Every structure is written in C-alpha cells, then in structure tokens.
C-alpha cells in the first residue's frame, strides 16, 4: 500500500529533473573553469576515475565508491586528494561530495560545454 504523499513526491522529482535539464547550460557556463579542472583530474568517461567522480554526491563513503566502480582504493585516495586541492570537493573527504553539479553524461561529452 502506498503513502498518499508518494504521487506528489514522484511529481516533485520529475519537476526537479526538468528544472535541472533547463538550467544545465547556465550551470555549465557558471562552472566552466571548475568543470575543466574536474575533467583534467578525472579524465574521460572511459576511466574509473570519472566513474568514481560521478558517484561523489556526499551519500557514499570512499569504501562504497571503490565497491561500486571498481577503482583501486589508492587511486581513489589520490583522486580525492587532487579534487580537494583543486577545491572541487566540499565536506568530509571520507564521504566526498563534488562542489559543482554535473550531469550523468558529463564525461561522455567531448570536452566542450553543454
């Protein structure tokens, strides 16, 4: 049996996703330098570093990121350190969260802004 708020939550999530889609070009322009730094550090979409970066939303520990994307623990530690030095992380580095928002297709892009 579903809660009465479930349909409303679904609608709100859909609205949030649409707003993100609409706002993405403006966000990309605002965060242009930071996004380029992220690409320089994490590489392209084919590597484990970029997959790990996409998982850095503040809800996962480093250990969980290692499990989910298969990156070596030492490589993740180096990535977190580099991102922190570039001021691309906020909060606790044990549960890393990117300072900027990026779409899931961020690393699939050819490097040009969306």
Contacts of 89 (CB under 8 A, 6+ apart): 56, 80, 83, 96, 97, 98, 99
What pLDDT score was predicted for residue 67?
Answer: 97
What pLDDT score was predicted for residue 113?
Answer: 42
What pLDDT score was predicted for residue 61?
Answer: 97
What pLDDT score was predicted for residue 78?
Answer: 97
Taking only the tens of pLDDT, the chain with its 114 residues reads: 567 788 899 999 999 889 888 887 887 787 889 989 999 999 887 889 999 999 999 999 999 999 999 999 999 999 999 999 999 999 899 999 999 988 888 888 655 443
d(CA 25, CA 71): 30
What pLDDT score was predicted for residue 56?
Answer: 96
Contacts of 65 (CB under 8 A, 6+ apart): 52, 55, 56, 71, 76, 96
**List of domains in the chain:** 31-108 (1.10.10)
Whole-prediction pTM value? 0.71
């Amino acid at each position: 049996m579903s809660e009465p708020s479930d349909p409303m939550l679904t609608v709100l999530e859909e609205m949030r996703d649409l707003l993100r889609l609409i706002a993405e070009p403006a966000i990309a322009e605002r965060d242009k330098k930071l996004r380029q730094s992220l690409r320089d550090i994490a590489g392209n979409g084919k590597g484990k570093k970029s997959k790990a970066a996409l998982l850095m939303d503040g809800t996962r520990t480093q250990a969980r990121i290692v499990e989910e994307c298969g990156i070596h623990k030492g490589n993740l530690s180096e990535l977190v350190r580099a991102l922190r030095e570039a001021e691309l992380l906020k909060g606790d580095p044990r549960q890393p969260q990117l300072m900027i928002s990026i779409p899931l297709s961020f690393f699939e892009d050819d490097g040009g802004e969306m």
